Amino acid sequence: MWLPIICFLLILQQLNGEEETRNAADKLKGHLEAIGSQGTFLGNIPELKFSPDGKYFYKNFIHGREPVVIRNAASHWLAVKNWPNETYLNLTYGELPFTVHMYKVYRDALSVRKDMNLSHFLEIYKEQSVYLDSPFPPSNLINEISLPSILQCKEISSTISDVYLLMSSGNTSSPLHHDGYENILAIISGTKKVILFKSSYSENVYADEFNVLPGLSPIDPEKVDLEKFPKFADVMYYESVLNPGDILYIPQYWWHHVTSAGAPNIAINIWFDMFNYEEQFESAGLKESQDVVKTTELFEKLAKEEPQSIECKEQAPALDQALKIVLNDSSSESLRIPKVAKRPADFKLISGYTMPPLGFGTAGLHPDDRLPVILTALDEGYRLFDTAQIYGTEVPLGAAIKERNIPRDDVTIVTKLHPQYHGYESTISAVQESLENLQTDYIDVFLIHTKYCDGGYFKCPEGKPEGTWQDSWRAMEHLHDEGKIRSLGVSNFDVIDLRELVNFTKLPVSVVQNWFDPFHQDENVREFCGKHRIHYMGYSTLGSQWTTYGGLESNPVLTSATFFEIASHYEFVVAQVILRWAIHLNITVIPRSHDPRHILLNFKTLDMELSEHEIKLITEEWLPSTSQGTEQESESLGTNDEEPADLEGPEAREENDDNHVTSDGNKDEL
The tens digit of pLDDT for each residue in 51-107 reads 888 999 999 999 999 999 999 999 999 999 999 999 999 999 999 999 898 889 887
pLDDT exceeds 80 at position 338: no
pLDDT at site 580 = 95
648 part of a folded domain: no
661 part of a folded domain: no
Which one of the listed residues 391, 421, 536, 539 is annotated catalytic?
391
Lowest mean pLDDT among 123-127, 467-471, 480-484, 549-553: 549-553
Measure the CA–CA gap between 148 and 270, rounded to whole angstroms.
10
List phi, psi (to 5°) of 500.
Answer: -60, -40
Q: Taking the CB of residue 425, how many other CB atoms lie within 10 A of it? A: 12
Cα 570 from chain centroid? 8
pLDDT at site 327 = 43
Residues 191 and 242 in one domain: yes
Residues 152 and 46 in one domain: yes
pLDDT at site 564 = 74
Lowest mean pLDDT among 142-146, 218-222, 445-449, 652-656: 652-656
pLDDT at site 668 = 24
Q: How confident is the model at residue 666 (pLDDT cuts 50, 70, 90)?
A: very low
550 part of a folded domain: no
Measure the CA–CA gap between 511 and 39, rounded to whole angstroms.
73
Domain of residue 432, CATH code: 3.20.20.100
* Residue-wise pLDDT tens digits, 382-433: 999 999 999 999 999 999 999 999 999 999 999 999 999 999 999 999 999 9
391 as an active site residue: the answer is: yes
Residues 269 and 158 in one domain: yes
Cβ atoms of 300 and 199 closer than 8 Å? yes
14 part of a folded domain: no
**Domain residues for 533?**
347-543+589-594
List phi, psi (to 5°) of 575.
Answer: -55, -40
Residues 313 and 353 in one domain: no
Q: 394-403 and 370-380 are packed helices; what angle lies between their axes, rounded to 10 degrees?
A: 50
Chosen domain end from 568, 594, 620: 594
pLDDT exceeds 70 at position 257: yes
Measure the CA–CA gap between 88 and 345, rounded to whole angstroms.
38
Q: How confident is the model at residue 1 (pLDDT cuts 50, 70, 90)?
A: low
- Tally of domains within the chain: 2
Higher-confidence position of 441 and 558: 441
* Residue-wise pLDDT tens digits, 8-37: 666 666 656 655 555 555 568 999 999 999
Residues 129 and 187 in one domain: yes
pTM attached to this predicted model: 0.51
Handedness of CA 50, 55, 56, 58 (dihedral sign): positive
Strand partners, 97: 117
- Asked if the bond preceding 407 is cis, omega within 30° of 0, the reply is no
564 part of a folded domain: no
Cβ atoms of 203 and 290 closer than 8 Å? no
618 part of a folded domain: no
1 part of a folded domain: no
Domain of residue 104, CATH code: 2.60.120.650
- DSSP secondary structure, 352-393, as one string: S-EE-SB-EE-TT--TTTHHHHHHHHHHHT--EEE--TTTT-
Residues 232 and 314 in one domain: yes
642 part of a folded domain: no
C-alpha dihedral over 489, 491, 497, 503, to 10 degrees?
Answer: 0
Q: Which segment, 239-248, 329-338, 461-470, 625-634, is predicted with the most confidence on average?
A: 239-248
List phi, psi (to 5°) of 485.
Answer: -130, 130
Average pLDDT of the residues of the chain: 85
Cβ atoms of 106 and 270 closer than 8 Å? no
